[in-house]
Structure 1
Amino acid sequence: MPLALTTCATASEASAALSREGARYLGGGTLLVRAVNEGDIATSSYVRTTDPALSGIEVSQQRVRIGASTTMSMILRHSALAAISRAAKAVGGPAIRNMATVGGNLFAPAPYGDFTAALQALGATVHTTGGDREIDDFLARRDGFGTQAGADAIVTAVSFDIPAEGSFRFVKVSRVKPKGVSVLSIAAVIERDAQGLVTAARIALGCMADRPMRAAAAEKALIGAPLTKAGIAGAVAVIGAKTDPITDPVASAWYRSEVLPVHFSRLLLG
């Protein structure tokens, strides 16, 4: 079946075009086009926009705003984003990173969406044509490729504070390195005082649900603790709380649950 392509000049026009049944927003297309090629008949047309407001990276003091059409390769080339470059580099190989966008990654189902886990740990704000949402709320409401449940709004950008040096941590575990599909991913922003005790923690997990999720129990357990084997024991013990890991050809839910504490411990101590 032939697919129609509508190109809009602005993000608002693209949002309106998405009201048509079967319309899907097309960014880099690394997941959407593949799904269609594999037989997804729910998509009957693509909608894209050439709005320049969706591209580029803006840095103002310690706050960064990344357009939804910005690719992972663009992030890797930007000197101000060196702290989170490891998360962008975890998205496929060079060919994928040249196409995969920040906006598209927000909608990637597990086992994809590694960069979104990083954004969740960073406490990002998601900007859409329908308004702004904190990323935890956005992920709870997301639905399908490029839309939110009950709305035709599209993502225009994400913004977050650049983490302090050494506070951002990220690991992607895969069977095929360096660009294999995730067994799991963990992103964390850990802040400590002069004595080395944790004062704040945001931890996000990939593949431990159908979308990235916060590890609230582990975050709470880390507060006031040093990053030593004994100090993190409480957080490691509860890192799997309220998770619902996926089972796919890469790994079973049981395996993901078993190795999560191991890799979380390594991330904190490493």
Structure 2
Amino acid sequence: MGLGLKTFPTLAAAGEALAASATARYLGGGTLVVRSANEGDVRFDTYVTASEQALTDITVADGRATIGAGVTMARIVREPALGFLAPVAKAVGGAAIRNMATVGGNLFAPVPYGDFAVALLALDANLDIDGQPVAASTFLAGRDTTHARALVRSVSFALPVDGTFKFAKASRIRPKGVSVVTIAAVVEERAGTISSARIAYGCMADRPIRAPAVEMALVGKARTAEGIAAALAVATEGTTPPTDAIASAWYRSEVLPVHLKRLLLSA
């Protein structure tokens, strides 16, 4: 049996079509759902998509960025105003994948994928779902339940102060291999000490997560090897890393503090 495709002018109309059919799936860039179909998933028979302009818009104004959920990683790489996110987008697969993979789709990507979602979590992004703002942390916590069939229109976040956003990805194959562990951070300093920190991990749970123990341990400390020692000591607190074909849970837990230290001490 073949797969059908239905295109709607608005995301709301596409959402209604999804709600009316348990065998329909939303088609964004296709790197997840088309792969699933190609691998033999017969739980759906129809692709649903939307041509709404907002899905592919990028707006950067008044210290805030709004990125349509249909924007591809390749566009992120080319967008001058989002230069700090270029290394994140470049970490998502090869060129062919980046030409199709979308910001919205990455939010749903299972471990060990979803590097861009880790960055959005560290940026404390909000998602537009049905016209309502939903924190990225809230969405990710309910991604497989409350928000399993949610349609994301866009993501938005305050632009980080220059030099405060940091990203690292450890993989077996550089630069585009599947993640062993991913870390994104926004670390602000004042008068020689860390005034605020947001740290997010990928591949340290079944979805991207924040590291509140690390964040608390960093505030008020100097960004030096001695200053971050307490944060590194609690680097794995609250994590439940998976074991998969890429790495074991033990290995991920062992290398996380190493990569976190490098990230925090980087210029």
Deviations along 1:222-259, one digit per CA (max 9) or x if unpaired, are: 00001111100010011101101011111111110110
1:225-264 to 2 correspondences below 5 Å: 225-264=221-260
Amino acid at match of 2:93: G
Counterpart of 1:122?
A: 123
Structure 2: how far apart are the matches of 1:14 and 1:153?
A: 11
Partner of 1:214: 210
* Structure 1 residue aligned with 2:173: 176
Secondary structure class of the residue paired with 1:142: coil
Q: Which residue of 1 aligns with 2:110?
A: 109
Match of 1:156 among 153, 157, 176: 153
In structure 2, the residue matched to 1:3 is 3
Hey, what does 2:42 align to over in structure 1?
41
Deviation at 1:143, TM superposition (A): 2.4
Q: Could you list the runs of 5+ residues in structure 1 that have no partner in the other structure?
A: none
SS in 1 for 2:108: coil
- Structure-1 separation of matches of 2:209 and 2:109: 13
Relative to the length of structure 2, the TM-score reads 0.97
Aligned partner of residue 211 in structure 1, secondary structure: coil
* Worse-matched range after superposition: 120-129 or 135-144: 135-144
* TM superposition outliers: structure 1 runs of 4+ over 6 Å: none
Aligned partner of 2:3: which letter? L
Correspondence 1:55-204 to 2 at 5 A: 55-129=56-130, 131-143=132-144, 148-149=147-148, 152-193=149-190, 195-204=191-200
Q: CA deviation at 1:43?
A: 2.2
SS for the counterpart of 2:166 is strand
The letter for the 2-side match of 1:164 is V
% identity of equivalent residues: 56
Alignment pair present for 1:30 and 2:26 = no
Q: 2: CA distance between counterparts of 1:36 and 1:196?
A: 53
- Secondary structure of 1:199's partner? strand
Report the equivalent of 2:219: 223
Point out where structure 2 has 5 or more consecutive residues left out of the alignment.
Answer: none
Match of 1:265 among 261, 264, 267: 261
Instruction: Let me know the Cα RMSD of the aligned residues.
Output: 1.2
Normalising to structure 1: TM-score of the pair? Answer: 0.95
SS, match of residue 148 in structure 1:
coil
Could you tell me how far apart the structure 2 residues matched to 1:14 and 1:54 are?
12
In structure 1, C-alpha distance between the alignment counterparts of 2:150 and 2:41, rounded to whole Å: 22
Size of the alignment, in residue pairs? 265
Query: SS at the partner of 1:243?
Result: coil
Shift of 1:117: 0.2
Paired residues of 1:15 and 1:129 also in contact (CA < 8 A): no
| Structure 1 residue 130, shift from structure 2 partner | 5.6
Report SS of the residue matched to 1:74: helix
CA distance in 2, matches of 1:217, 1:208: 14
In the TM superposition, what is the alpha-carbon distance from 1:53 to its structure 2 partner?
Answer: 1.4
- Give the counterpart letter for 1:75 in structure 2: I
